[in-house]
Amino acid sequence: MNYFELFNLAPAFDIDTANLAERYRDLQRAVHPDKFAHDSEQQKLLSVQRTAQINDAYQTLKNPLRRAEHMLSLRGIELSHETTTLKDTAFLMQQMEWRELLDDINHATDPQDLIDELYDSFATYEKSLFSSLKELLNSDEQEANNQAADQIRKLKFMAKLQVELTRIEDALLD
């Protein structure tokens, strides 16, 4: 299903999130199960299914990474449940450096400085990835789509690193 069509939006990486939220509320009001309380069981079930579909679409479109992944799936590139590995040597080296720094936190004299440094490094790198992703998604060429898929893979890795860094920081605070 094309979530952009469901919300009557042009398929684009940059969307008006306020408009998205407004459309979400309108759609939810239209299909809310309470409106079908006196209808047949089949109609009630359809209402529940439609509500779940709208919720999933909204969660996908409001999240930039999930939105980009949805755009690529509409173009025939499916990233969920894949096992493709990145071949970007520079990124792989950067991953190793970040992993070493994560390991160093517990042994650092001032772990908070290292944590802050990593948060800044992650944010800077993610910002450049999102900028590149936006440009790639503006093109509908196959090579741009493939490169956008690689950017999404990198961003997913960055999200995992963020979670790991937060977990390490929380453990230090306990």
Domains of the chain from N-terminus onward = 3-62 (1.10.287.110), 89-173 (1.20.1280)
Residue 21, pLDDT > 70, answer: yes
In angstroms, rounded to a whole number, what is the distance separating the alpha carbons of residues 71 and 76?
A: 9
The per-residue pLDDT for range 30-72, each reduced to its tens digit, is 887 777 666 777 877 887 889 999 999 999 999 999 999 999 9
Residue 165 · residue 101 · CB < 8 Å: no
As to burial, measured by CB atoms within 10 angstroms (0-12 exposed, 13-18 middle, 19+ buried), residue 106 is exposed
Put simply, whether the predicted model's pTM sits higher than 0.75 gets the answer yes
Residue 89, pLDDT > 90, answer: yes
The pLDDT, as a whole number, for residue 170 is 95
Residue 123, pLDDT > 90, answer: yes
Between 48 and 155, whose confidence is greater?
155
In angstroms, rounded to a whole number, what is the distance separating the alpha carbons of residues 150 and 147?
A: 5
